[in-house]
Structure formats: C-alpha cells, structure tokens
C-alpha cells in the first residue's frame, strides 16, 4: 500500500512538472521566439521539457507495470500530456481518485 502511494505521488508530481514545462514552452518561450526573435528561452526550456516528458513517460510505464493504473487511465494521462495544461487536469484527477480510495 505504501509503495502504491509513493508511485501515485511520483505520478502526480511528474504530471505537474511536465504540464508546467509544456505550458512555459508553448505560452512563453515559443511566442518570444516567433514574435520577438528571442530564441534563448526555447533553447533552454525545450530540453528541460523533453527530460520532464521522458521522466513522466517512465513513471507512467512504471505505474502501469505495477498495476497501479488501468488502461483507460494510462491513455488519459498520455493524451493529457500533449495538451497544454492537460497535465494539471490529470494531477487533479489522480488526487481525486486517491482521496476516494
């Protein structure tokens, strides 16, 4: 039971970090690059988001292989991870699911 709680906490944290880096990339860095010609934020935030996304995927795979997630939840997490602000929605759903159990 403790291992499952740790896995779910890691998953919620990864959702939030992935969502924050994607939102920063899409809402701040890319507009700065295309509207102001300032590409440094994309050069910095792009790889940070890439690492956050890969870490998120690794945690989802780990949670799925341990039986902590159902197939529908896995798909919802993966789809929400490519939608800006979707990861915040996923983290909220995981928190609600955890409080119901």
Of 98, 65, 67, 92, nearest in space to 77 by CA: 92
Phi, psi of 82 (to 5 degrees): -100, 0
Tens-digit pLDDT profile for residues 7-40: 889 999 999 999 999 999 999 999 999 999 999 9
Q: Are 28 and 41 in contact (CB under 8 A)?
A: yes
pTM: 0.89
């Amino acid at each position: 039971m403790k291992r499952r709680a740790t896995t779910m906490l890691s998953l919620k944290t990864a959702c939030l970090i992935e969502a924050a880096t994607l939102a920063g990339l899409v809402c701040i860095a890319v507009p700065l690059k295309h509207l102001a010609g300032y590409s440094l934020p994309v050069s910095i935030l792009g790889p940070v988001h890439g690492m956050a996304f890969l870490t998120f995927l690794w945690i989802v795979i780990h949670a799925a292989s341990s039986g902590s997630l159902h197939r529908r939840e896995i798909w919802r997490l993966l789809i929400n991870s490519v939608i800006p602000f979707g990861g915040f929605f996923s983290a909220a759903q995981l928190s609600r699911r955890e409080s119901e159990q």
